[in-house]
Each structure stands twice: as C-alpha cells, then as structure tokens.
Amino acid sequence: MDIKKGENNLTFLVTGAAGFIGAAISKRLLENGERVIGIDNLNDYYDKRLKYSRLEEIDQIAKNLDSKWNFFKVDLSNFSELQIIFEKYLPKVVFNLAAQAGVRYSIENPSNYINSNLVGFANILELCRQTNIYNLVYASSSSVYGGNKILPYIEDNSVDHPISLYAATKKSNEVLAHSYSHLFNLPSTGLRYFTVYGPWGRPDMAPMIFTKSIILKKPIKIFNNGNMLRDFTYIDDVVECTIRCGYKPAIKDDCFDNNNPNPSTSFAPYRIFNIGNNNPINLLDFVRTIEDELGIKAIKEFYPSQLGDAKETFADTSKIKEWINYKPKYEIAQGIRNFISWYKTYYQ
C-alpha cells in the first residue's frame, strides 16, 4: 500500500541528514509537511562547516513551515543510542543515507567503512524490524557494478565483482536488506546512485574540486588521461526519485522466477533501482561545461587511472521510470549553472 504525502501523520527518519543527499531529502520531506527525525555523526571526512550549514538551512525551513524536525548527533554503529530514538519516535519510513563515502578513501581506511556501512546498516535493519516500519529506502551506489563492462548498467546485471571496498560494502547492504525483507517481510528499496552533483555537494567530488581549482587558477588532475565517462545526476532528480520510493514501499514480485532469478526484484518485498541521468558525458566535456559557466580556462594535468576507479558509468533508468513514473529532468548545463551559482554565493 502506498503512503500518502503529508496525510498519514507518520514520522520519517533520515540518517546522514547533514550529508549532501540526506540534507536534501530532509528538506523535501519537511516541505511535504512530514515530521522528520535527522541523524548524523558529523564526522570530519570533509569540512564540518558545510555539514553545519546544511543543518542550519534545514532548521530554517522547519521554522518557516512550522514543521516538526528533530536532529540527533549519533553514530550508526551505536545501537543503544539508535534504539532510544527509534523507540521514542517510532518512525514508519526510514531513509538510510548515512555511509562512509569515497572510493579512494576506502583503500586507506577500511575500518571506517566496516563500522559505518556494514555494522551501522545492520543496526538500522534490526531496528526497522523491531519497530515494524512501513518502508526502508537506502543508498546503494553505481560502484557496485565494479568490473562489469556491459553498458548501460542494468539492475539485472551481475554485481559480484566490486573493485573497491566501498563498492563491496554497498553490495553487502543490498544482500543484508534482502535477508531482512525475506525473513521479516520488511519492505526495502536500494537505490544505486550515479555520481550525484549540485548545490550543497561534497567537497571531495569532482564538481567542487574542479570549480575551486579553476577559480584559484590551480591545476586540476584529470585521471585516465580524460578517457572517462560519468553519468552525472543532478541532486533534484535524485531527491525526487528517492522521495517517491519512500512513499511507495517495495512489494513482492508475483512473476519472480526462482529458476531464472532477477537480481532487482524478489519473492520478498525488495527492489533495486538505478538512479542516474541515463546520459553519460566525457570527463573533459564536464570540465568544459564548468569552464564555460565560470568564464575561466582550467589548467589540466593528466594522469593514469587510479586504483578502484571505474572507467565508465551509464545508468539504464527504465525500471525506476516504470516504478514511479519519473525520468531525469536536469541536463548537465542547467545543473552546472545551478551548482556554480550556489558555489559563488556560499563561498563568496
């Protein structure tokens, strides 16, 4: 049964609420008239000031709309503190956006990924089970496709050969979620995000790194000599898809064939979807778009590919369109224009 926007008197819980996608989800839920609980550990993987600024904007939206918003600084690995929040507020829809991010960082700091992305996610699953939530939507990643060379990436493809620890933890999340969906009838939807960008984005991502360096007239590093394709996906498209999935819990696939299993559906209430732009662009074209918007030429330095990096990403988005009747609206030029406008305002 679908959940009606703003009419069910339900509490929504968002983990990673101070993060890029989590903050955007929290704002949209408040604008939809929902009661929202935000959780984040506010770690120092990147500048905390950006995280606090996102929270300040959420606070202002909640105040302006007279919406119910509560935030808690909690690490997902702390089961007892999470349990107190779940039992007090009894959320019915959970968006799990919290994770230790970064493909390259995972090579040097594996324990952070185990604690946050595996232990933390297992805690969320168990508390969802204990409190009988209606729906769990969680962030997976396009990185799960790993060594897969078949493009575009389709949810039916194998994802059994990750090329980074980060990707392995995201694949593990999908497997863990399926077990809970099967054993406890917990509706779960995993969303494989493809290179999300836009206002309030992460400083460790290419748009922010390139923009800052171009403005400061510092060289930007172009890996694999620029021979890379990325399916850059604008934040508003990501938010719209994620929110719609929150209002539409996964259901059992009545046509599921155990002799020829579809990895994206199940005999349990479980779904996996790509969230991408379905229009990959070359990395050098992406840089040119930023150059054009800034009116400044980049100083480029070319390097070989890095360990753990995929050469190409390209999302087939037909399944998510069929599920929630939505396809991406933002082309790269408009998305970069919006991002640059925000960047200049925020960083003055």
Does some domain include residue 4? Answer: no
Q: Is residue 303 part of a domain?
A: yes
The pLDDT, as a whole number, for residue 1 is: 62
Q: What percent of the chain has pLDDT over 90?
A: 80
pTM of the model: 0.95
How far apart CA 280 and CA 120 sit, in angstroms, is: 32
Residue 117: pLDDT band (50, 70, 90) is: confident
Specify if 6 maps to a domain: no
Quote the longest CA-to-CA distance of the chain.
Answer: 58
Please give the tally of structural domains in the chain: 1
Closest to 247 measured CA to CA, from 189, 170, 161: 189
Q: Provide the residue range defining the domain that includes 256.
A: 11-347
Within a domain: 3: no
The angle subtended at Cα 86 by Cα 83 and Cα 89, nearest 5°, is 140
103, pLDDT greater than 70:
no
Rounded CA-CA distance 203/19 in Å is 11
Q: What is the CATH number of the domain that holds 239?
A: 3.40.50.720
Assess if residue 228 is contained within a domain.
Answer: yes
Q: Taking all residues of the chain, what is their mean pLDDT, rounded to a whole number?
A: 93
pLDDT band (50, 70, 90) for residue 110: confident
Q: Is residue 2 in a domain?
A: no
The tens digit of pLDDT for each residue in 209-247 reads 999 999 999 999 998 888 889 999 999 999 999 999 999
> What is the structure's pLDDT at 2?
81
Cis-peptide into 152, omega within 30 deg: yes
b or e along 149-169 (b: 16 or more beta carbons within 10 Å of the residue's beta carbon)?
eebbbbbebebeebbbbbbbb
Q: Which residues are the active-site residues?
A: 166
Tally of CB atoms within 10 A around 10: 17
For residue 20, tell me if it sits in a domain.
Answer: yes
In a domain? residue 5: no
